[in-house]
Structure 1
Amino acid sequence: MDLFIVNHIWYFFIYAFLGWCAEVMFHTIITGKWVNRGFLNGPLCPIYGFGMMLILLALDPLKNNIVLLFVGAVLLTSGLEFLTGWVLKNLFHLTWWDYSKRPFNLGGYICLEFSLMWGVGGVIIVKLIQPLVQQFVQSIPYVVSLIFLAIFIIILLLDFMATVATLIGLEKDVRELEKVGLGIRNLSDSLSHELSDVARITDSKVESTRQELQDKLESLEKQSVLLKKHLFEKRFLGSHRLFNSLPKLYFTKHHEIIMQLKEEFNKILHDSNK
């Protein structure tokens, strides 16, 4: 494999890891709680890796011009952030971040404040950090690089597939919960109707109908409890991480029931920590 490609794959993984560290540190300080802000389960934020790859590849001719380097970093990182946010929202129906309440935002995907921060960060990394990273990468023997990068790529692909499977499974479970919840509401309405409509049917039939509806209602409620338990206890590479580590994660589909689940999950955590 070409040494240029090998080096840039290293840059991707290094900056994806450093970006993950920065995200975790920032949100841990803000929330007072350790938060895995990555899309993946592992310690990588690919958007940072791809962002720095873009900057290093596209802006290398401008690295000696601070102004052009800054403007280029703002445009490239903002474009990548917008595209990533749009894909997450439209493909996976979730919003990992939301700038809609910040001034000068575009669709909530990007905003001027953070775009300028990415620009400053890009300049600092290119001028101060990248020379050290480049020196480190170039010191790694070629064969050793190939071995480690092959391992990292395999782990990354497996993590990505596990994350996608988790999101698909979560949506499937949530759809089932919505269906059960609708059944519970319909049965509750029917039960109230049957009990109040004593003028049309006899008392014995009221009792018989009431018991039948009550049995169905209890069955659906048990099913709902089991589904929630299944969701909350899927700890390893499961939805538990999404509820626990991403308290502000916003799902555009099934939003109402997701918020209800997050509230119940947080209550369970609170009670267990007492």
Structure 2
Amino acid sequence: MSIYHRINCFFLFSFLGYLLECAVLSYENKRPVFNRGFGHGPFCIIYGFGSVGATMLLSPFIDSPVRLYFASMVMATFMELVTAYMMIKLFGSFWWDYSRKPFNYKGIICLESSIAWGFLGIFYFRFLNGFVNQAAGMIPDNFQRITGMFFLIFYATDFVYTMRMQLRADCEEDESSLVGRLKVY
């Protein structure tokens, strides 16, 4: 399996995660939700990283559905917690809110989502991983590199643009909050 095949799988998982997030939030909010990624493209890369982490860390549990379920639950919940803390550190907030759900911790993680992560881990190993690898394998070898590089460049550009916009908005917010406190003599 080439590095470009893996990159294409990463972005396919990120796209499927984006679709999952949009579907779940559309259902919960009873209205369509389309903007679930960090940037402007249709990717939630935490799902790409989750697929890499699951393959690396959870493969020893694939023969035991119960152990796989709990290991998936713990790994994904931990990833959600770490991601939220990174976002708080970078931006002062995170992009989801579980505060209205029972058994939540600071709105960052909750029991309902942790339970779902366990089932998603089983689904990942029983169906999704093979499906995504097969789909990425349908990209002709001579286009694997082109599509992989396209996804990397697209996401990197989108990420840098979004970071700049977010930092600019934070700076403007900080400046506007200072206006009321300035003393003019």
| Shared fold, TM over 0.5 | yes
Q: Contact between 2:8 and 2:147, CA under 8 Å: does it hold in 1?
A: no
The question of 1:173 aligning with 2:172 is answered: yes
- Cα distance between partner residues in 1 of 2:75 and 2:123: 15
Name stretches of at least 5 consecutive residues in structure 2 with no aligned partner. Answer: none
Residue 17 of structure 2 is matched in structure 1 by 19
Q: Contact between 1:8 and 1:53, CA under 8 Å: does it hold in 2?
A: no
Residue 44 of structure 1 is matched in structure 2 by 43
142-151 or 129-138: bigger deviation? 129-138
Q: Contact between 1:19 and 1:48, CA under 8 Å: does it hold in 2?
A: yes
- Cα distance between partner residues in 1 of 2:126 and 2:5: 18
Residue 57 of structure 1 is matched in structure 2 by 56
Structure 1 pair 88–67 and aligned structure 2 pair: CA distance change class (3 A): same
- Cα distance between partner residues in 2 of 1:14 and 1:35: 17
C-alpha distance after superposition, 1:135-168 (max 9, x if no partner): 2222333331111101110111111111110111
Q: Contact between 2:13 and 2:132, CA under 8 Å: does it hold in 1?
A: no
Shift of 1:7: 3.1
| Larger radius of gyration between Structure 1 and Structure 2 | 1
- Cα distance between partner residues in 2 of 1:70 and 1:128: 14
Residue 212 of structure 1 is matched in structure 2 by none
- Cα distance between partner residues in 2 of 1:4 and 1:104: 42
Shift of 1:22: 1.5
Aligned residue for 2:36, secondary structure, equals coil
Count of aligned residue pairs for this structure pair: 184
Residue 117 of structure 2 is matched in structure 1 by 118
Q: TM-score, normalised by structure 1?
A: 0.61
With a CA cutoff of 8 Å and minimum separation of 6, indicate the structure with the bigger relative contact order. 2
- Cα distance between partner residues in 2 of 1:91 and 1:61: 34
Structure 1 pair 84–152 and aligned structure 2 pair: CA distance change class (3 A): same
For 2:142, the aligned partner's letter is V
Residue 240 of structure 1 is matched in structure 2 by none
For 1:179, the aligned partner's letter is L
Q: Contact between 1:10 and 1:137, CA under 8 Å: does it hold in 2?
A: yes
- Cα distance between partner residues in 2 of 1:47 and 1:139: 24
Q: Contact between 1:11 and 1:53, CA under 8 Å: does it hold in 2?
A: no
- Cα distance between partner residues in 2 of 1:140 and 1:149: 10
C-alpha distance after superposition, 1:37-66 (max 9, x if no partner): 211111000111111221122222322321
The question of 1:71 aligning with 2:81 is answered: no
- Cα distance between partner residues in 2 of 1:61 and 1:141: 31
- Cα distance between partner residues in 2 of 1:62 and 1:128: 15
Q: Contact between 2:5 and 2:148, CA under 8 Å: does it hold in 1?
A: no
